[in-house]
Structure 1
Amino acid sequence: MVLESEGYLDESCLGAAVMPQEGVRVRLDLPRTDDLADIVFLANNRKIASHLATMPHPFTLEDARRMVQRSAVLNSTHASFAIRMATTGRLIGQATWSALEPGGPVQVGYWLGEPFWGQGFATEALQMLVDHAFAQGDMRELLADCRVTNAASRRVLVKCGFQYRDQSMARSLGAGGSVPIERFALERSVWRALKHWGRVA
């Protein structure tokens, strides 16, 4: 995703924040300091950074520490989770939803380490992330972007019910400049219908 956003952070935590429900093959929870080696190993990849807005390349141990610190803050405008294998607990990526500004649009984003691409893990993680965002927030819709060249991410968004809006340009730190993106949205009413009818195929 291009605009995974570091998110607007305020200090009004929700206290005992509700965590996403565990999925069949992956689960979402908070990254920990014992995940730092896995984070650096997976995130230090230009193929990943070039598809995100704010991920640097090279990705250092200090970058991983900042990611863990930011994820510790869960509130009504931001939540950031480690994507883990349900069976082993190994961190394989990150999923985030956050308001770009107070009261503003809510953006979702995610990344997976390259060894885990193409196996359906991103779709399952994004479904859990969307459920968590709509359950915890009062937003009318969720927004998501992907690079025009990122067909895999586009498929994930469509499988999760996101609908194409338009094309634009966005800055990507990892790509070293502006890149063309496609913008998508998922309205709360559509999400409710998908929950009632079952996920799209």
Structure 2
Amino acid sequence: MVVESDGLLDESCRGAAAPSPQEAVRVRLDMPRTDDLPDIMFLANNHRIAMNLSSMPHPFSLDNAKALIKRAEIYRDNNATFAIRMATTGRFIGVAKYGEAEAGGPVHIGYWLGEPFWGDGLATEAVHALVDHAFTNGSMDELTGGCRVTNPASRRVLAKSGFQYRDQSIIHSVGARGTVPIERFNLERAVWASLKTWGRTA
């Protein structure tokens, strides 16, 4: 899973719902709902996921799930949170989002996918849809992303989505209960536009 932050938005940003991203082949991104609560709690309450994120708590409670839904109701330029769903059934399988950690700062993408859905390319489809939504609806010139150095699956997702390695850093992870080394990546708007013209990387 990609390193992300749950502290990207505040109540002052509440506004209209985010424009819907383009549906991918097997997944779609849209708003998480209260009827997703059982799936959110079941999938998010996983230490293997929390250890790869910066701010996901473990255990993951009902209040945490409700807060996730509430945050997704907040939308403004360069900030959005979506549920990842199976396109055929609409089942909630994870979260994808982007946002500024501080006003005018870098726009960072993040996601997590429930463990039963790992290893089948669904995260890559979700990140493609998320990136397209960000650059189509946002004003940012660049997106950033990161993953733990021990997470090659997320490194592959970022690479397949056009992100380029930048450097390494250290962050605090709530789930890991301490600091962890991460790799940081970026994707410029011009590179994204070229990938859209030439087709995504294999």
Q: What TM-score, normalized to structure 2?
A: 0.96
2:104 counterpart of 1:103: yes
State the Cα distance separating 1:53 from its structure 2 match: 0.5
* RMSD, aligned α-carbons: 1.2
- Structure 1 residue ranges without an equivalent (≥5): none
Tell me the residue number matched to 2:75: 74
Tell me the residue number matched to 1:9: 10
Tell me the residue number matched to 2:187: 186
The 8 Å contact of residues 6 and 56 in structure 2, kept in 1 or not, is answered as: no
Q: What residue identity is the alignment partner of 2:29?
A: L
Partners of 2:175 and 2:143 in 1: CA distance: 24
Q: How many residues align?
A: 201
Mark the CA change 1:179 to 1:12 in structure 2 (over 3 Å): closer, same or farther: closer
Partners of 1:147 and 1:16 in 2: CA distance: 31
State the Cα distance separating 1:2 from its structure 2 match: 1.7
The 8 Å contact of residues 14 and 74 in structure 2, kept in 1 or not, is answered as: yes
Query: Residue deviations 1:139-173, cap 9 Å, x none?
Result: 11000010000000000000000000000100000
Mapping for residues 50-199 of structure 1, pairs under 5 Å: 50-199=51-200
The 8 Å contact of residues 50 and 175 in structure 2, kept in 1 or not, is answered as: yes
- Structure 2 residue ranges without an equivalent (≥5): none
2:49 counterpart of 1:38: no
Mark the CA change 1:104 to 1:156 in structure 2 (over 3 Å): closer, same or farther: same
State the Cα distance separating 1:10 from its structure 2 match: 5.5
SS in 2 for 1:144: strand
Partners of 1:113 and 1:125 in 2: CA distance: 13
Identity across aligned pairs (percent)? 60
The 8 Å contact of residues 17 and 73 in structure 2, kept in 1 or not, is answered as: no
Mark the CA change 1:195 to 1:14 in structure 2 (over 3 Å): closer, same or farther: farther
Query: Residue deviations 1:112-148, cap 9 Å, x none?
Result: 0000000000000000000001111111100001000
Question: Structure 1 residues 13-22 or 160-169, which shifts more?
Answer: 13-22
SS in 2 for 1:157: helix
State the Cα distance separating 1:91 from its structure 2 match: 0.2
Query: Residue deviations 1:27-75, cap 9 Å, x none?
Result: 0000000000000000000000000001000001110000000001111
State the Cα distance separating 1:77 from its structure 2 match: 3.2
